[in-house]
Amino acid sequence: MNNGHGIRMAASSAREDPAWLKFSLITMALMIVGFLIGVPVIHVFWQALSGGIKAYLSNIFEDPANRDAIFTTLYVAPRAVFLNLLFGISSAWLVSRFKFPGRTILLTLIDMPFAISPVVVGLGLVLLYGSSGLLGPSLASVGIQVLFNSPALVLATTFVTLPFIVRELIPIMESIGPDEELAALSLGASGLQIFFRITLPSLTLGLLYGTILCTARAVGEFGAIYVVSGRIAGRGQTIPLRVEQLFQQYQTPADFALASILTVIALATLSARKIMQSLSNQRHATDQAKRIPA
Amino acid sequence: MSITVNKVSKSFGTFRALDNVSLEVPSGCLVALLGPSGSGKTTLLRVIAGLETADEGAVLYKDEEVTDTPVQHRQVGFVFQHYALFRHMSVFENIAFGMRVRKWPSSKIQQRVTELIHLIRLEGLDQRYPSQLSGGQRQRVALARALASEPRVLLLDEPFGALDAKVRLELRQWLRRLHDQIHLTSIFVTHDQEDAFAVSDKVVVMRQGKIEQIGPPVELFENPANAFVMDFLGHVNAFKGQLKDGRIFLTDYVMHSSQGKFNEQGIVYVRPHELEIKGVNDHFGSLPAIVDHLHPSGSCIRVHLRSPCGQASCCVEINTDQLRVFPMNVGDKVCIHPKRGRIFDQDYNI
Amino acid sequence: MIKRSKNILPGFTLSLGFSLTFISIIVFLPLAALALKSTELSFQQFIQTISHARSLSAIKLTFFTAIMAAAINMVIGMLVAWVFVRYEFPFKQWIDALIDLPFALPTAVAGLVYANLYMRNGWVGQILALAGIDISYSSTAIILVLVFTGFPFVVRAVQPVLEEIEPELEEAAAILGASRLQTFCLVLWPMLRPAVVTGFALALARGLGEYGSVIFVSSNLPGQTEVAPTLIVARIEENKYAEATALALVLLTASFFLLGAINFWERWSRRHE
């Protein structure tokens, strides 16, 4: 009937799903995310802190093997990240600003760590630097011991985390384009000046996030390090390896205590990304707003 | 099939897109909804189609109230501004879509699609994909798709908006001819006055969610209901003046201000071709002016003049004969005199 | 655009030199060592290694669990992507950020938590036991943990595609008479399919090589619950490098094939755009 006045219940518009469907799908999705991700995260902290803060801290720091694992991780991860930072900047510059034969091969190599099982990475390193490997004997004769030593850990971690910084930087550099840098060049700037004054500032957010992500992955690497490290408690164990060892030994509270450190890093990485996204959206919005109408 | 819109209102949050709008579209008529952006014309079209639901009011197809009928069952044809063709389907499949989902028999689908492809003159292209077609071709496919399952009414949202000038002209003529052929009640939305005038039987001028005037194109142009309609449909000059003894006398220029024009008392609106240019010291009721700039425009000459104090300007259209009789140069002091003008009630739009 | 600046900008030689050297040392050399080692195996030896009962069961288990996990992720990933793009609910942004956790969380932690939670004695394990379900150390447990590690791939592949679909397409389908289900099947799904398949392949590639999380939840019994990466590690510890390399080759070939197929498939499905 025509009731020309009064608000009527809306018939569904063309793109709306019926309410029952929406409700069920949302519930299912939340349950999935909850069980897969939410519950495990909560569980880590629940287990870690179940004995109280004091117990938590002593679980982490009392055992010398734990302390060694932390130190090893603190040794290996920053080095891997630093190396990948250098590589990331250099190859992002190379790939996004120049065309050269072999560019595709380089890009494929950069993507390789995603396609290779960490265990296979470890195997490759063993075949290369092992005592019967390609380079192992020659390096040993000069007194350099790679395998079962810190260099192997750094190499393995660098391999596995190689793509992260590069792949953050390349899209940024490609979307900004070389125009500003070319302008600077035409104004007489040298290579270094262009790089530090023009390129780097536009990359800050990308670099920051890429570094954080790379660090999180470096700290958490397991398979490759498992293969190339000595795996003896106190020597060449990173935190993830120690977590596994504690698991074998049924030392649950200490295990979760260490695991919680890693989880905090992972959560920090996710927060960093959220913050970065909103920062870059904000930046976009204020740039638009600042535009003075013609 | 006629369409009736009865006191429809629609708001998006605090923005009132449609304000108590009523409209009758007789069966077989081709109507244009014309207005600036934000006038509510697209919202009205979408409410008629069922893509939006009105907060208040009713929509009727013939005598049947369809306000609560879901869009799938309204049997309307809708052509989107950017065509919305299904890019993973061929031209044939796009056109056939409406029939396939309604489970028409294959043979009938085949026949109808072939018929339509012939109608839109895209023979041989039925296996192409939208990405392989030009803008004008895609537009025609969108039209064919909308017509395929024999809708009761055809609705088009800025159908010529995304096309370049020449294609636009062709398609306008083509749409008009098509309508003459199939006599389907059609409503289309445009912000371009020329599109509306060239194609439609009736034009509905809208502003800020309300209908300002409805009528055939000539009627609207010659007898605008208010200052907005007059200003929207073509150029207009505004002066201070008065009506005396059935004649218009200009008393002064209106200084440039964006809002004042429509609300001040005693504003006379004169179209460029309704002004005459004479020598100085001529008729009472004329205004002095200085020639600023002349340029040809289509078949006539546009003369831009400014007031002696330079704060206001106006535009007069004359033809080449008039220019020959009364040649002008930049800087000449002349007089402008209205042959016709209009004064509107000042509070019409409030 | 790039042609114009072809090698005009400075730093080409420096960055080329450094990048190439770096990637050769870090990535290329180890791969070369693998390649070299694999040439030492004759084809017959390769077949022998692979068809050894333990190897076969490891390979079978790896592929089975990885494919199952990726398939499950296809379904739940699509559902989650749909819900997060189309619907609104409280805390949506925060929960959305959580979806990336499997990317950032160390596999060892994932393994530890899943082992602790879902196995017989854990919280959820006890609940499941009431229903008569015990997944400890079974291949189901492996599939579960692989679902975790591969979860973001499908979601993040589908989300951008879903976000970019013009609303007019669905409106057009509805006006033409299609029900919501028909619209989804005939219009939306063909547009989402490439992304879903890409996500599937990425999750699969990841699952084939997963080690850190699997060893926690699996009993790792040779011939039963041992996956290929675990076997590779065992062989390395036995210094049987040739056999380890043979297995590694199988995994590598599968991954490269998958990634190549993704690339090809993506380009093929965009042929109409």
- Tokens standing for B200? 């439609």
| Residue A1: predicted pLDDT | 34
Say yes or no to pLDDT of A8 above 60.
no
Lowest average pLDDT, out of B305-319, C122-136, C162-176, goes to: C122-136
Confidence class for position B104, pLDDT limits 50, 70, 90: very high
CB contact under 8 A, A240 and C216: no
Lowest average pLDDT, out of A62-66, B287-291, C4-8, goes to: C4-8
Question: Hey, how many other C-beta atoms are within 10 angstroms of the C-beta on A38?
Answer: 16
| Residue A44: predicted pLDDT | 93
Q: How far apart are CA A96 and CA A94, in angstroms?
A: 6
Comparing CA positions, the residue from B79, B80, B85, B78 lying closest to residue B131 is: B85
CB contact under 8 A, B58 and A2: yes
| Residue A11: predicted pLDDT | 32
Q: Is residue C190 part of a domain?
A: yes
Chain C hits for A112, Cβ within 8 Å: 27, 31
CATH number, domain of C69, equals 1.10.3720.10
Confidence class for position A177, pLDDT limits 50, 70, 90: confident
Average pLDDT over residues A202-225: 91
Chains that touch C (3 or more CB pairs under 8 A): A, B
Confidence class for position B336, pLDDT limits 50, 70, 90: confident
The DSSP letter of residue B311 is S
Q: How far apart are CA C218 and CA C208, in angstroms?
A: 15
Q: How far apart are CA B208 and CA B192, in angstroms?
A: 17
Stated length of chain C:
273
| Residue A214: predicted pLDDT | 94
| Residue A3: predicted pLDDT | 33
- Tokens standing for B209? 């969610």
Question: Hey, how many other C-beta atoms are within 10 angstroms of the C-beta on A81?
Answer: 26
pLDDT in tens, C5-48: 456 778 888 888 999 999 999 999 999 999 888 888 888 888 88
Average pLDDT over residues B316-326: 86
- For chain B, what is the mean pLDDT? 87
Say yes or no to pLDDT of B158 above 70.
yes
Say yes or no to pLDDT of A260 above 90.
yes
Between C120 and B242, the higher pLDDT residue: B242
Chain A hits for C6, Cβ within 8 Å: 98-99
| Residue C2: predicted pLDDT | 44
Chains that touch B (3 or more CB pairs under 8 A): A, C
Q: How far apart are CA A200 and CA A185, in angstroms?
A: 15
* Burial class (CB within 10 angstroms; exposed 0-12, middle 13-18, buried 19+) of A212: buried
Pick the CATH number of A64-291 from 1.20.210.10, 3.30.360.10, 1.10.3720.10, 1.20.1560.10: 1.10.3720.10
Please give the backbone phi and psi of residue C61, each rounded to the nearest 5 degrees, phi first.
-65, -45
Please give the backbone phi and psi of residue C221, each rounded to the nearest 5 degrees, phi first.
-80, 125
Q: Is residue C163 part of a domain?
A: yes
Local structure of C254: helix, strand or coil:
helix
Average pLDDT over residues C61-77: 95
CA distances from A87 to A80, A197, C8, C150 (A): 10, 19, 21, 27
Classify the phi-psi angles of C211: left when phi > 0, otherwise alpha if psi is within -120 to 50, otherwise beta: alpha
Q: How far apart are CA A237 and CA A217, in angstroms?
A: 16
Residue type at A288?
Answer: Q
Between B284 and A25, the higher pLDDT residue: A25
Stated length of chain A:
294
Confidence class for position C148, pLDDT limits 50, 70, 90: very high
Average pLDDT over residues B78-92: 93
CA distances from C107 to A223, A240, A281, A291, C102 (A): 9, 8, 32, 47, 8
Chains that touch A (3 or more CB pairs under 8 A): B, C
Confidence class for position A184, pLDDT limits 50, 70, 90: confident
Say yes or no to pLDDT of A231 above 70.
no
Lowest average pLDDT, out of A229-238, B76-85, B162-171, B304-313, goes to: A229-238
Confidence class for position B265, pLDDT limits 50, 70, 90: low
Provide the pairing of β-strand B275-278 with B333-338: antiparallel
CB contact under 8 A, A15 and C244: no
Q: How far apart are CA C148 and CA C141, in angstroms?
A: 11
Comparing CA positions, the residue from C103, C133, C100, C96 lying closest to residue C118 is: C133
Q: How far apart are CA B147 and CA B133, in angstroms?
A: 19
CB nearest C101 (choices: A28, A37, A87): A37
Q: How would DSSP label each residue in C26-57? A: IIIHHHHHHHHHHHHS-HHHHHHHHHSHHHHH
Say yes or no to pLDDT of B37 above 80.
yes
User: Which H/E stretch holds residue A7?
Assistant: none
CB contact under 8 A, A274 and C97: yes
- Those of residues 215-244 in C touching chain A at CB distance below 8 A are 215-216, 229, 232-233, 236, 241, 244
Confidence class for position B132, pLDDT limits 50, 70, 90: very high
Q: How far apart are CA C146 and CA B8, in angstroms?
A: 55
Delimit the domains of chain A by residue range.
2-44, 64-291
Confidence class for position B33, pLDDT limits 50, 70, 90: very high
| Residue A284: predicted pLDDT | 74
Confidence class for position B349, pLDDT limits 50, 70, 90: very low
Between C70 and A146, the higher pLDDT residue: C70
CB contact under 8 A, B88 and C190: yes
CB contact under 8 A, A185 and C23: no
CB nearest B58 (choices: A4, A7, A11): A4
Question: Hey, how many other C-beta atoms are within 10 angstroms of the C-beta on C29?
Answer: 20
Q: Cα distance from B86 to chain C (closest Cα, Å)?
A: 7
Cβ proximity of B21 and B15 under 8 Å:
no
Local structure of A15: helix, strand or coil:
coil
Q: Give percent of chain C above pLDDT 70.
A: 97
Provide the pairing of β-strand B202-207 with B30-34: parallel
CB contact under 8 A, A8 and B7: no
| Residue B281: predicted pLDDT | 63
Q: Is residue C29 part of a domain?
A: no
- Those of residues 4-23 in A touching chain B at CB distance below 8 A are 4-8, 10-14
The DSSP letter of residue C226 is -
- Tokens standing for A170? 């390349």
Lowest average pLDDT, out of B18-22, C108-112, C125-129, C163-167, goes to: C125-129
CB nearest B101 (choices: C168, C169, C176): C176
**Rg of chain C on CA atoms, in Å:** 23
Q: How would DSSP label each residue in B89-128? A: S-HHHHHHHHHHHTT--HHHHHHHHHHHHHHTT-TT-TT-
pLDDT in tens, C183-222: 999 999 999 998 999 899 999 999 999 999 999 998 888 8
Comparing CA positions, the residue from B10, B37, B34 lying closest to residue B21 is: B10
- Tokens standing for A40? 């495990």
Confidence class for position B270, pLDDT limits 50, 70, 90: confident
- Those of residues 180-199 in C touching chain B at CB distance below 8 A are 182, 186-187, 190-191
Q: How far apart are CA A90 and CA B238, in angstroms?
A: 65
ipTM surpasses 0.85 = yes
3-state helix, strand, coil in chain B (%, to 5): 30, 35, 35
Burial per residue of C182-195, b for 16 or more beta-carbon CB atoms within 10 angstroms, e otherwise:
bbbebbbeebbebb
Q: How far apart are CA C26 and CA A91, in angstroms?
A: 14
Q: Is residue C12 part of a domain?
A: no
Interchain contact C272–B (C-beta under 8 A): yes
Q: How would DSSP label each residue in A101-113? A: TTHHHHHHHHHHH
Say yes or no to pLDDT of A4 above 60.
no
| Residue B261: predicted pLDDT | 47
pLDDT in tens, C91-141: 998 899 899 999 999 999 999 999 988 776 777 777 777 777 777 778 888
Q: Which residues does residue B12 pair with via DSSP β-bridges, in sequence order?
A: B15
Number of domains comprising chain C? 1
Any residues with CB less than 8 A from the CB of B317 and at least 6 apart, and which?
B271, B272, B273, B275, B297, B300, B301, B302, B303
Residue type at C42?
Answer: S
| Residue B241: predicted pLDDT | 81
Q: How far apart are CA A66 and CA A69, in angstroms?
A: 5
- For chain C, what is the mean pLDDT? 88
Q: How far apart are CA A98 and CA C6, in angstroms?
A: 6
CB nearest B56 (choices: A5, A11, A14): A5
Cβ proximity of A222 and A244 under 8 Å:
yes
Kindly provide the residue ranges of all beta strands, DSSP E only, lying in B29-181, ordered along the sequence.
Answer: 30-34, 56-61, 64-65, 76-79, 153-157
Q: Is residue C88 part of a domain?
A: yes
The DSSP letter of residue C104 is H
Cβ proximity of C220 and C54 under 8 Å:
no
pLDDT in tens, B181-213: 888 999 999 988 889 999 999 999 999 999 999
Cβ proximity of A120 and C232 under 8 Å:
yes
Question: Hey, how many other C-beta atoms are within 10 angstroms of the C-beta on B344?
Answer: 18
